Structure 1
Amino acid sequence: MNFDLRELILIFLRGLCMGSADIVPGVSGGTIALITGIYERLIHAISCIKFSFLKPLLKGNMSDFKAKLIEEIDFELFIPLLLGIAIAFIVLAKVINYLLDTQTAYTFSFFLGLIFASAYILYTKLDGFNIKLIIITVIGILLSYIFVGLNPIATNHSLIVIFISGLIAICAMILPGISGSFLLVLLGQYQYMLNALNSRNLIEIIVFAIGAVIGILGFSRLLNYLLERYESAIMAFLIGIMLGTLRLPIMKITTTINGSWIPCVILAIIAFVLIILLESKFKKD
């Protein structure tokens, strides 16, 4: 395998951005993957993992195992990307926890700008809107608006619940516009898993990760199929999802703001501009 160092660094930076987004309720790592031009490659690479390399491994044929492993898994993508995501999770878990507790309105103002910019960029990737796509977008808005308004589900923190939470959340995390972290909030697992990550609770982290791996391997195949055949409709629906999820930061801002709205507006604009600059930067690369 011949790795391009510059490409590895760019993928690592994408991983950092995706991990930072995935840990924030209301923001999707899938959106960041789309913005930075790596989304389709990621979904395709995941859907191509069929574990055919296990057969020669079980037979003890190491040369065939190595050949099939390299052929089936895009290591040049997964190694730097997952490393970036993991580092972002570890570094930002405490920071996000602190900001959500102490600077709620300002933090969600920033999130609002991120989400709105993501929806705009997704719109620019469409060839154009027609009645069908507008209807699909409106459906996405309504569904996500209702979903965001749901109260968090009271549940326990048993290993089976953590496993299922990982399975469900990862499916949302790879979809642009749908926040896996917000699903964890609704499942009553977000704060708990954030604390587990901060305290390095390996058993719960591993169980969650196993659920996530199983979920992403199954869901990526379906998503890859849909994107190949109904890309415009999927994108329009995801734009609606993003616009509908704006209900979450707006609710948080209006209920926790203490003082002037001006800093909130400024932070939202800064976030919007950052996403636009990020998208233009990776488009050039």
Structure 2
Amino acid sequence: MFEYKNIFRGIAMGITDLVPGISGSTILMVLGVYERFIASLNGLTTKEWKKSLGFLIPLGIGVGSALLIFSKVIEWLLEHHQPVTMFLFLGLIIGIVPILIKEVDVKNSFKPIHYVLLVIAFILISLTSLIPNETGLMTNLSVGDYILLFVSGWLASAALILPGISGSLIFLLLGVYATVTSAIANIQISVILVVGSGIAIGLILTSKLVRYLFANYTIYTYAVMIGLVAGSIIVVYSNVEPGGSLIGCGITFIAGLLVAYLLGSIKK
């Protein structure tokens, strides 16, 4: 059955994936459809592939629409109002963490080992903010550049599935972020196809691992994912450029918290 609601979920997912440090799958967790998303990706290689497509196609339409419609908007906001925009997403992530903690009932289900895994995941993601990156636009692409873009898409697919790790962050760290966002904004078909192929293959393979972990190590997996999401707060904050309006940043930060609250309410 074609789930039209997923178009709107996909739009929310696509918008967040455009910002370095934020994962679209985090939004799916808040909306309560993350495990269905993973199951549907796995279902593409089974007899249930039609059911899986009914879930994934509208989600993909939403993501694609968001990338095409909002890529230029996000690009403009990050260029002209970067601090204010980043504080919006910072508020969103901080507002999401309590929702995830409540989702898994941390107080009653976590043991010491779970807290250890959460802290390790938090530290690992936080450390990515220290990695130098190159964001220059790649021109006159060679075969080697296309291979890099394919591999980048593959690695970014894992980030799309794991909450807290942004596909945009992976592109940023590999030095292809500007190239990919420019290709989307200007509909550069060759780059979109190469990166998209890497993402598609990676999604199917990574989803199998994540589903196995959810099925056999549920609380452990949630502990790691909460740590990843919390760690992305550090990553996003480290990307905030100086010079933003204190009042403007405060307003957008509160707006981000409000959006997180509304997303949690929608889930209920």
Normalised to the residue count of structure 2, the TM-score between the two structures is: 0.90
8 Å Cα contact 2:133-2:172 kept in structure 1: yes
**Please, which of 102, 116, 127 is the counterpart of residue 135 of structure 1?**
116
Superposed CA offset, 1:153-201 (max 9, x none)? 5896511011001000011011111111111101111111111111111
Aligned to 1:103: 81
Q: Write the mapping of 1:194-273 to structure 2, written as runs, cut at 5 A.
A: 194-253=181-240, 255-259=241-245, 261-273=246-258
1:72 has 2:49 as partner = yes
- The residue type equivalent to 1:268 in the other structure is F
1:14 has 2:9 as partner = yes
- The residue type equivalent to 1:267 in the other structure is T
Tell me: CA distance 1:203–1:109, structure 2 relative to 1, closer, same or farther (3 Å). same
8 Å Cα contact 1:176-1:238 kept in structure 2: yes
- The residue type equivalent to 1:186 in the other structure is L
Matched residues in 2 for 1:252 and 1:162: separation? 23
Query: How many angstroms does 1:72 deviate by?
Result: 2.1
Matched residues in 1 for 2:184 and 2:115: separation? 40
- The residue type equivalent to 2:49 in the other structure is E
- The residue type equivalent to 2:209 in the other structure is L
- The residue type equivalent to 2:230 in the other structure is L
8 Å Cα contact 1:36-1:278 kept in structure 2: yes
Aligned to 1:275: 260
- The residue type equivalent to 2:123 in the other structure is L
**Please, which of 116, 125, 146 is the counterpart of residue 127 of structure 2?**
146
- The residue type equivalent to 1:256 in the other structure is P
Aligned to 1:30: 25
Query: How many angstroms does 1:272 deviate by?
Result: 1.2
Matched residues in 2 for 1:134 and 1:198: separation? 41
Q: Alignment identity in percent?
A: 33
Normalised to the residue count of structure 1, the TM-score between the two structures is: 0.85
Aligned to 1:122: 100
8 Å Cα contact 1:26-1:248 kept in structure 2: yes
Matched residues in 2 for 1:49 and 1:112: separation? 34
Matched residues in 2 for 1:154 and 1:13: separation? 30
8 Å Cα contact 1:104-1:256 kept in structure 2: no
Matched residues in 2 for 1:242 and 1:76: separation? 28
Stretches of structure 2 that go unaligned for 5 or more consecutive residues are none
Stretches of structure 1 that go unaligned for 5 or more consecutive residues are 53-67
Tell me: CA distance 1:246–1:146, structure 2 relative to 1, closer, same or farther (3 Å). same
Q: Write the mapping of 1:175-190 to structure 2, written as runs, cut at 5 A.
A: 175-190=162-177
CA RMSD across the alignment = 1.8
Aligned to 2:38: 43
Deviates more, 1:18-27 or 1:242-251: 242-251
Matched residues in 2 for 1:136 and 1:153: separation? 30
- The residue type equivalent to 2:257 in the other structure is F
Secondary structure of 1:125 counterpart: helix
Matched residues in 2 for 1:278 and 1:131: separation? 30
8 Å Cα contact 2:11-2:62 kept in structure 1: yes
Secondary structure of 1:167 counterpart: helix
- The residue type equivalent to 2:56 in the other structure is F
- The residue type equivalent to 2:124 in the other structure is L
8 Å Cα contact 2:125-2:235 kept in structure 1: no
8 Å Cα contact 2:159-2:165 kept in structure 1: yes
